[in-house]
């Protein structure tokens, strides 16, 4: 079941700095998604795509998602969690302090916690730094932790 999206008015973002805004729904990480990412990026290391070798040789007993796959899902996780109302254009401006803390085995589910860390003026818009923690269901340690800079322009 899909959770409710938190709607934030563009003009009020600065008022919410320093607060957790929302937590996404769980997103399954199937082997098919991992294989598609491997095909798209050319990263076909066995730990990601060879289920039988991974079962025998990896410390996880299964294939794992690429760290960059997990990181790339931050966009869809945010879109399904937070909407900035009154926005005409949104630009991914980059990431700071990205850490791949723990593996995401195939068949796992992940979700993201979004904290509006800071808001700054940017040319013709604003730049939001989202503090993001991607978690794996049933695990205490996060998978990925990052500061993500997104530029919002009024619509």
pLDDT digits (tens, 9 = 90+) for 77-88: 999 999 999 999
Question: Which is nearest to 12 in space by CA: 4, 21, 3?
Answer: 21
Residue 137 has what DSSP assignment? T
- Measured in degrees and rounded to the nearest 5, phi and psi for residue 62 equal -160, 170
CA dist 108 and 30 (Å) reads 7
Q: Which CATH superfamily is domain 6-29+65-154 in?
A: Hotdog Thioesterase (3.10.129.10)
The string of pLDDT tens digits covering residues 7-22 is 999 999 999 999 999 9
Residue 75: pLDDT above 80?
Answer: yes
pLDDT over threshold 90, residue 98? yes
Helices and strands counted in the chain (H then E): 5, 8
pLDDT value at residue 1 = 44
The reported pTM is 0.93
- If you average pLDDT over every residue of the chain, what do you get? 96
Answer yes or no: is pLDDT of 38 > 60. Answer: yes
Burial of 94-109, coded b for 16+ CB within 10 Å and e otherwise, reads ebeebebebbbbbebe
């Amino acid at each position: 079941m899909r959770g409710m999206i938190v709607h934030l008015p563009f003009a009020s973002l600065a008022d919410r700095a320093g607060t957790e805004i929302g937590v996404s729904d769980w997103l399954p990480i199937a082997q098919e998604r991992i294989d598609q990412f491997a095909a798209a990026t050319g990263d076909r290391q066995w730990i990601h795509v060879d289920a039988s070798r991974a079962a025998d040789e990896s410390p996880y007993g299964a294939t794992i998602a690429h760290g960059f796959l997990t990181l790339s899902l931050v966009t869809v996780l945010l879109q399904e969690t937070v909407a900035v109302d009154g926005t005409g254009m949104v630009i991914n401006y980059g990431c700071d302090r990205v850490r791949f803390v723990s593996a995401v085995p195939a068949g796992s589910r992940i979700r993201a916690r979004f904290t509006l860390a800071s808001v700054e003026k940017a040319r013709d818009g604003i730049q939001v730094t989202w503090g993001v923690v991607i978690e794996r269901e049933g695990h205490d340690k996060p998978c990925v932790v990052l500061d993500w800079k997104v530029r919002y322009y009024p619509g």
